[in-house]
Structure 1
Amino acid sequence: MADLEVVEICAGAGGQVLGLEQAGFRHRLAIELDENAATTLSENLEGSRGLLPWSIVQRGDVADPEVWKPSDHEGIALLAGGVPCPPFSVAGKQLGANDERDLFAWAVEQLEFMQPKALLLENVRGLSLPRFTGYRQHVLDRLQEFGYVGEWRLLHASDFGVPQLRPRFVLVALQEEYAPYFHWPEPAGEAPTVGEALLELMSANGWEGARKWAKKADKIGPTIVGGSKKHGGADLGPTRAKRAWAQLGVDALGVADEAPKAGDTFEIGPKLTCEMVARIQGWRDGEWIFTGRKTSRYRQIGNAFPPPVARAVGEAISGALKKRGKPREREVPEEDPIYRVLRDHGDFMTATQLAAKLNLEAPELEHRMTLLGRDFHIEKADGDSTVAYKLGAFKAFTGQDDHERHELFLQHRAKIS
């Protein structure tokens, strides 16, 4: 297992790339749709200062067989990725399986063709909410069918030395041979405050207020929001986030071109530069080059998986693949009870039967059926006194040639990020 190769999908600008490289993995391939982010990857992985000597960055839609063929990478150590977040984000409509940007279920299906020893997928906290319990259970079911043991865990970047909260919902799955040896990484200690992390950069142009500012910015920062091409420009997030940044003396309405200069004064405080945002995301100065204009660079940085978190999870996966440590019992995953009952029954069940079996009142049952119906086709049959339900197909794109995702993707490609 000395050669820990990884294929990474939806690689973005390389936060997970860098973290996995630092954990001992080597990228065979990194696929990214956004041209600017792909250029950043190429600059760091293939350029004169690159980590690897051959071309590994592929540009385009990761689900397009003309871009790459998963079956060409059968038996690789790790399939990893940060598939698009908007389908699950609480800031969006949480369309889940009905969002043309959703590639989570598709990524899981690639295990059938690639048979990697491990899978790592990360997404926003929204995927951990009750709204997606059925979606998550379907993913775990598919993993089991492919011979993998999967677990979810909400990880906070601040537990790994990153000066922001940034919760990320992480799925790790391993072949049954390796799964007992996987242990989630333990917190690495107290993270620096925003002021501690940025004092050097804030002082770079001789601003006299830097030390006073750093004392005010004495907390962990809110989650950096990179945003999408569909909405807005480069700023640090929605109204609530802007208020939280203001309390730290940061003007979150935009991103600065350079650090404040001698004599500068501010009503709220200075804006952050892209370099400062990268520091808050866990990048160290000089270890990664971001290409493109300011707004693009900010989005690349803001949408990334913090490298220290990726490294910690990567090291845990590496340890499992090398069978280090003591085996452990797997965690029992939370299940959507309605999904489980309908899945196991396999036929129509009346609302009365479901309510009695699950000890649910009619309004709660109807609410949960509505949530489940957002990600699954639910067949309904009206009886004399009650309605009956049957669990149908999963709505998500998993590779179907006739799925509506293809047309919607082409329509919105310029705004997908």
Structure 2
Amino acid sequence: MGTSVELFAGGGGLAMALHDAGFRHLLVNEFAPRACQTLLANKAAPHRDEAPLPKRLSDKWPLIQGDVREVDFTGLTGQVDLLAGGPPCQPFSLGGLARGDTDDRNGFPWFFRAMREIQPRAILCENVIGLMRPSFRDYFDYITRELSAPFEQRVEGESWVDHNKRLVKTLAHPNSDPSERYDVHVVPVNAADYGVPQLRRRVLMVAFRRDLEIEWRPPRATHSDTALAHALVDGSYWDEHDMAPRPDAIPAVLGPVDGLRRWRTLRDAIRGLGEPGPDKVEHPDVDAHIRWPGARIYAGHTPNLLDRPAKTVKAGVHGVPGGESVMRLDDGSIRYMTVRETARVMTFPDTWKLAGPRGEQMRQLGNAVPRLLGEVFATSVASALRGAR
């Protein structure tokens, strides 16, 4: 069983993933009050300075509620196997304002400080694929260099461009201390390729401390669009759902069989939930499964289709954009996805409670890491760390 610290924990997707992969959280940090309420309603408890560190995987996660800039990590130096987190993505998101390094919400500098103070054996960092856009590519390369050499600290008044130049020179030096260097792996992913019923493109950054001499390969994709197409054509998909084929969902062209499992669809994700009740009325049996009025579609906001993976769940600058949370039903009508349906698409368990009103719940889900995607990569990291012991 490994140990972990997670920053920018949000609604708990990655924290759950690490836990399910066998990591024991020594500390979790989150700033947003509603997200903190969600964590506390599930597996977290308020952090107390005098309390001993968790000893069992079943222990509550110690949650520090507040600004990561004010957290002192030095008490955990040398005790943490994995430092994980998704620094706020709005500065680099295609759906945000894309201010990048100039945005006060950029959490990477504080993630690097935590690396220096904790000196973890490994890193798992998730962010939006927008970080790899041409307009941000230089800054993304800078981030990967700072992950490689976090002890080459940016000094006060130094621009990231000048710091980057210094990092390039430092990393070219062959005689550096391997305990202060990390081997970084950049892995662009589509969550659907790992069994998540959602088209969600992200970039994962995995790093291992160089003195551990770990050779790591990213987990291979397990699911594919091609396999889904074959299941739609040969009827096995429809048999699973005990329904007649829908001609509009059957592809006209098939690629060669690839031996992978099929992509999971929205229909797969919400199976067994049933329809929500009247508008704004709590479902008697399912938490957060509430119909919401006003669904509409328009140019650029097309609905989710039941027999495809869901579109990317988004938090949005002002809540959830229209089309991304609208679904088309079998009778041709449309409605908003419920919070519970959206949580299913994010592979959150039905027992996970989300705090706040609907918009805040959806924001937490849109900002989260799909639990299953995180677990796949956390399990791979845990296996590599065990091999290094």
**Identity across matched positions, percent:** 30
Which residue, 193, 203, 210 being the options, matches 1:169?
A: 203
8 A Cα contact 2:25 2:61, kept in partner: no
Distance 1:225 1:144 in 2: 30
Give the 3 Å change call, closer, same or farther, for CA 192–144 of structure 1 in structure 2.
Answer: closer
List aligned pairs for 1:139-154, cutoff 5 A: 139-145=143-149, 146-154=180-188
8 A Cα contact 1:182 1:319, kept in partner: no
- For residues 92-140 of structure 1, give each alpha carbon's deviation from its aligned partner in whole angstroms, at most 9, with x where no partner exists: 3321110000012331243222110011111111002222222122223
- For residues 158-215 of structure 1, give each alpha carbon's deviation from its aligned partner in whole angstroms, at most 9, with x where no partner exists: 1121111111111111101345332211223323211222132134769xxxxxxxx9
Partner of 2:98: helix, strand, or coil? Answer: coil
List aligned pairs for 1:311-390, cutoff 5 A: 311-323=375-387
Given residue 308 of structure 1, which amino acid in structure 2 is its aligned partner? L
CA positional deviation for 1:322 = 1.3
Matched, 1:62 2:68: yes
Task: Return 5+ residue gaps in structure 1 as ranges.
Answer: 207-214, 251-265, 325-417
CA positional deviation for 1:32 = 0.5
Query: What TM-score, normalized by structure 2, do the two folds share?
Result: 0.67
Partner of 1:305: helix, strand, or coil? Answer: coil
Point out 4+ residue stretches in structure 1 off by more than 4 angstroms.
203-206
CA positional deviation for 1:292 = 2.0
8 A Cα contact 2:266 2:305, kept in partner: no
Distance 1:78 1:297 in 2: 27
Distance 1:199 1:142 in 2: 44
Distance 1:34 1:179 in 2: 37
8 A Cα contact 1:181 1:323, kept in partner: no
Distance 2:135 2:329 in 1: 36
Distance 2:106 2:189 in 1: 21
Q: Which residue of 1 aligns with 2:336?
A: 271
Q: Which residue of 1 aligns with 2:83?
A: 79
Give 1 or 2 for the bigger CA radius of gyration: 1
Give the 3 Å change call, closer, same or farther, for CA 79–63 of structure 1 in structure 2.
Answer: same
CA positional deviation for 1:54 = 4.7
Q: Which residue of 1 aligns with 2:318?
A: 232
8 A Cα contact 1:178 1:320, kept in partner: no
CA positional deviation for 1:142 = 2.4
Given residue 223 of structure 1, which amino acid in structure 2 is its aligned partner? T
CA positional deviation for 1:36 = 1.1
Q: Which residue of 2 aligns with 1:222?
A: 311
C-alpha RMSD of matched pairs (Å): 2.6
8 A Cα contact 2:315 2:364, kept in partner: yes
CA positional deviation for 1:22 = 0.6
Query: What TM-score, normalized by structure 1, do the two folds share?
Result: 0.63
8 A Cα contact 2:9 2:85, kept in partner: yes
Distance 1:147 1:43 in 2: 38
8 A Cα contact 2:68 2:110, kept in partner: no
Task: Return 5+ residue gaps in structure 2 as ranges.
Answer: 46-55, 150-179, 224-261, 279-303
Q: Which residue of 2 aligns with 1:28?
A: 26
8 A Cα contact 1:19 1:311, kept in partner: yes
Matched, 1:305 2:369: yes
Distance 2:57 2:69 in 1: 26
Give the 3 Å change call, closer, same or farther, for CA 53–180 of structure 1 in structure 2.
Answer: closer
